[in-house]
Structures are given as structure tokens and as C-alpha cells.
């Protein structure tokens, strides 16, 4: 399916874009109005854009339904300060509750059952239950349009961070311990839990050889996936064959399939793919190189 955005209704644009562009982190924004009334609302049009200066941006949109603006935006235009409370799995249902369209005078901390905690540098209170919160000053609000659905970029400088001690190992955040949630399309969310986290090795100083520099037999493999090729091509140079490399399983493959080279290559590639799925890139290379040598 190919879609031209100019032919879509606003609701369809929302449907496709919000399902495709995800998961989006959730900024649970606490703001105050000029009378000191507190507001707390979630926004998933949100991300980190700069480290120096430390800038995050979120976007309270004009409502599609009636083109009205959100209390959060009105508050920020009056008092340009916000606390961004990060949302973890244990608080996602209450966070969603806070997104109800309560009246201006209603304090969503009370409605959603969260506890206020005083911030250090800004006036809006923090959500005590949130394990990571950012005290921010608003540098600029940039409207992206005047129609319903138009976003308003709230460009924030982070002044202070509060990080729960339970997330830390030697002063650094253990990603496995911070069960962030993120928004997808419609009612879908996802949970960043230890079981679905994985790491991708990214050398910063050394440049990977690239898929185009892989030996032909690897590049044309019917077994090795795009991810497998990406891992193999991320090495700085094609590794040398290690004469000391000794692998029982590989020896068995060589023996068993000695009269059938095509089957042998298939088995070796399956074995290399298994090693790669375990993060054993150097071993996978040795297995593939050893096979190239005997074939
Ligand atoms: C997880 C989540 C993410 C949301 N993200 C956005 C968003 O990025 N932009 C937006 O305008 N509304 C978003 N909403 C809807 C607002 O939270 C909702 O309109 C809320 O009533 C605004 O409150 P306010 O008028 O008190 O600021 C989101 C709702 C939820 C539950």
C-alpha cells in the first residue's frame, strides 16, 4: 500500500503515523497555571534532542475534534516551567487515567492518585512515584500549525534530574531495572523489560568493513539473515584464520557432510547463525573461514 498524505483524513494520518512511529517514550508533564493550579498529563510526542545543551521536546497538539488547546500548553505559555516524569510499567494505568479531559480546576495528581513532591529549581511538583524525573525550563514554544491536530513543540532545557537509587549500579543506570513503557498506535503500549532488551555492538572508533566487503559465499548465503550479515560486517577487518581454532561441532559437520559440499555449507551457515544469535561474532567468523578453506 502506498499512501499520499494529502489524500488522507486527519484520523487516518493519525492512525498510520502513530502505529508506524513507535514505540514513543512518554513524558508525564507536570505544569502550573498562573494561579498555582497544578496539571499533570502524558505526551508521547516526546524525545531527547540534544545533550549539550540538554534539550527535550514534547508536543501537546490542538485537539482534532474541536481545535482547542490543552491545559498543559496554556500553562506553559503562562509559566514556562515543567517537570517531566518518566513513566514505568508500575504507573502506566494511573498515567492513562491522568489523560482524561478533566476541567482546568481539576488536579490530575489527585484524580490519578499520585503523590506530589517538591522540585528544586521549578515550581510544578514532581510525581513522587516516578523513578526518573527531569526539572525543565521551557526555552521556546513553536506552534506547527493552526488546524486541529497541529502540534506545539515545547522545547525544554533540563536543569535537574532525579533518579531513583534502586535503578543505579555504581552511579550508572542499569537499563534492566528501569521498566519504561512506551506508546504505539491506538491503545497499544510496550514494556521495556529485562527479557526483551538486547544489545547491539557499535564500535565508535573503528569502522565496520560493510556488507559489500563480506566474502561472496557469506554475502550470498541463503541461511544467514540481514541481521547476521550486519553483525559479520561490523568487524574492523576480515579476521585472520586462527590455526588454533578448534570446534567439535564444526569438525562433526565437516566429517558428516564431506561428500556433499552444498549441505555442508548450509549446516555451517546454520551453525554460524546460531553463534551470531549468541553474540559470538569472532567464533562465527572462524567457523565460516575454516569452511571456506576446506571447500
Ligand atoms: C500515553 C499517552 C500519550 C499521549 N500523548 C499525547 C501527545 O503526544 N500529544 C497530545 O496532544 N496528547 C497526547 N495524549 C493525550 C493527552 O494526555 C490528553 O489530551 C490530556 O487530556 C491533555 O491534558 P491537559 O488538557 O490537562 O493538558 C496522550 C495520552 C496518553 C494516555
> In this predicted structure, which of 42-46, 197-201, 204-208, 225-229 has the lowest mean pLDDT?
204-208
DSSP 270: H
pLDDT at 203 over 70: no
Residues 6+ away with beta carbon under 8 Å from 57: 46, 47, 49, 153, 154, 155, 156
Q: Which of 44, 92, 104, 114 to mutate to test the pocket of ligand 1 (most atoms within 8 A of CB)?
A: 44
Whether 290 has a pLDDT exceeding 90, the answer reads no
Phi, psi of 216 (to 5 degrees): -50, -45
**Per-residue pLDDT averaged across 248-275, rounded?**
94
How far CA 210 is from CA of 193, 198, 207, 226, 232, in Å, comes to: 31, 22, 8, 12, 9
Which pLDDT band holds residue 21 (cuts at 50, 70, 90)? very high
Ligand 1 atom closest to Cα of residue 60: 11
Contacts of 217 (CB under 8 A, 6+ apart): 265, 288, 292, 295
Atom number, ligand 1, closest to the C-alpha of residue 61: 11
State residue 169's pLDDT score: 97
Other beta carbons within 10 Å of 248: 7
Strand segments, DSSP code E, in the chain are 24-25, 27-32, 38-43, 46-50, 55-58, 81-86, 116-117, 126-127, 132-143, 152-163, 168-169, 172-173, 181-183, 189-191
Q: Which of 19-23, 90-94, 95-99, 240-244 has the lowest mean pLDDT?
A: 240-244
Residues 6+ apart with CB under 8 A from 10: 64, 147, 148, 149
What average pLDDT does the segment 236-254 reach?
91
Over the range 81-114, which residues count as b (16 or more CB within 10 Å of their CB) and which as e?
A: bbbbbbbbeebbebbbebbeebeeeeebbeebeb
pLDDT at residue 206, rounded to an integer: 83
Q: How would residue 295 be classed by pLDDT, with cut points 50, 70 and 90?
A: low
Please check the confidence at residue 261 and state whether its pLDDT lies above 80.
yes
Q: How far apart are CA 20 and CA 200, in angstroms?
A: 22
Cell numbers representing residue 171 in the block:
552511579
Distance in angstroms (rounded) separating the CA atoms of residues 146 and 144? 7
Ligand 1, residue 29: give the atom nearest the CA.
27
User: What was the pLDDT predicted at 291?
Assistant: 82
Percent of the chain with pLDDT over 70: 98
Quickly count: other Cβ atoms within 10 Å of residue 287's Cβ: 23
Average pLDDT, the chain: 95
Return d(Cα 235, Cα 108) in angstroms, integer: 51
pLDDT tens per residue, range 126-182: 999 999 999 999 999 999 999 999 999 999 999 999 999 999 999 999 999 999 999
Ligand 1 pocket at CB < 6 A: 26, 39, 41-45, 59-61, 70-72, 96, 99, 101, 183
In this predicted structure, the answer to whether residue 45 has a pLDDT above a threshold of 70 is yes
The answer, yes or no, to whether residue 44 has pLDDT greater than 80, is yes
pLDDT, average across residues 40-50: 98
The whole-angstrom separation of Cα 94 and Cα 43 is 14
Q: What is the pLDDT of residue 125?
A: 98
Specify burial of residue 207 (Cβ count, 10 A radius: 0-12, 13-18, 19+).
Answer: exposed
Structure confidence by residue, pLDDT tens digits, 79-132: 999 999 999 999 999 999 999 999 999 999 999 999 999 999 999 999 999 999
The sign of the torsion formed by the CA atoms of 289, 291, 293, 295 equals negative
- Residue 243: pLDDT band by 50, 70, 90 thresholds? confident
Give the Cα separation of 263 and 130 in Å (integer).
55
Flag whether pLDDT at 55 surpasses 70.
yes
Best CA proximity match to 295, nearest among 250, 242, 238, 231? 250
Amino acid at each position: 500500500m502506498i499512501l499520499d498524505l494529502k489524500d488522507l483524513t486527519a484520523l487516518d494520518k493519525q492512525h498510520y503515523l502513530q502505529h508506524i512511529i513507535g514505540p514513543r517514550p512518554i513524558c508525564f508533564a507536570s505544569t502550573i497555571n498562573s494561579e498555582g493550579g497544578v496539571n499533570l498529563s502524558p505526551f508521547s510526542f516526546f524525545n531527547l534532542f540534544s545533550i549539550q545543551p540538554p534539550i527535550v521536546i514534547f508536543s501537546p497538539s490542538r485537539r482534532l475534534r474541536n481545535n482547542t488547546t490543552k491545559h498543559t500548553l496554556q500553562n506553559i505559555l503562562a509559566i514556562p516551567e515543567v517537570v517531566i516524569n518518566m513513566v514505568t510499567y508500575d504507573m502506566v494505568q494511573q498515567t492513562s487515567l491522568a489523560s482524561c479531559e478533566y476541567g482546568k480546576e481539576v488536579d490530575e495528581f489527585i484524580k490519578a492518585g499520585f503523590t506530589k513532591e517538591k522540585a528544586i529549581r521549578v515550581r510544578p511538583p514532581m510525581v513522587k512515584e516516578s523513578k526518573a524525573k527531569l526539572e525543565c525550563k521551557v526555552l521556546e514554544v513553536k506552534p506547527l500549525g493552526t488546524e486541529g491536530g497541529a502540534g506545539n513543540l515545547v522545547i525544554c532545557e533540563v536543569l535537574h534530574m532525579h533518579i531513583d537509587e534502586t535503578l543505579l549500579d555504581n552511579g550508572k543506570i542499569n537499563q534492566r531495572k528501569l521498566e519504561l513503557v512506551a506508546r504505539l498506535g491506538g491503545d497499544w503500549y510496550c514494556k521495556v523489560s529485562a527479557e526483551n532488551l538486547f544489545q547491539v555492538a557499535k564500535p565508535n572508533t573503528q569502522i565496520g568493513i560493510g556488507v559489500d566487503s563480506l566474502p561472496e559465499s557469506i554475502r550470498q548465503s541463503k541461511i544467514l539473515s540481514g541481521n547476521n550479515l550486519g553483525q559479520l560486517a561490523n568487524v574492523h577487518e576480515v579476521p585472520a584464520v586462527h590455526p588454533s581454532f578448534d570446534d567439535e561441532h564444526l569438525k562433526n559437520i565437516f566429517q558428516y557432510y564431506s561428500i556433499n559440499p552444498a549441505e555442508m555449507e548450509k549446516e555451517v551457515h546454520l551453525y554460524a547463525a546460531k553463534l551470531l544469535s549468541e553474540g559470538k561474532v569472532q567464533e562465527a567468523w572462524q567457523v565460516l573461514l575454516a569452511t571456506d578453506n576446506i571447500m
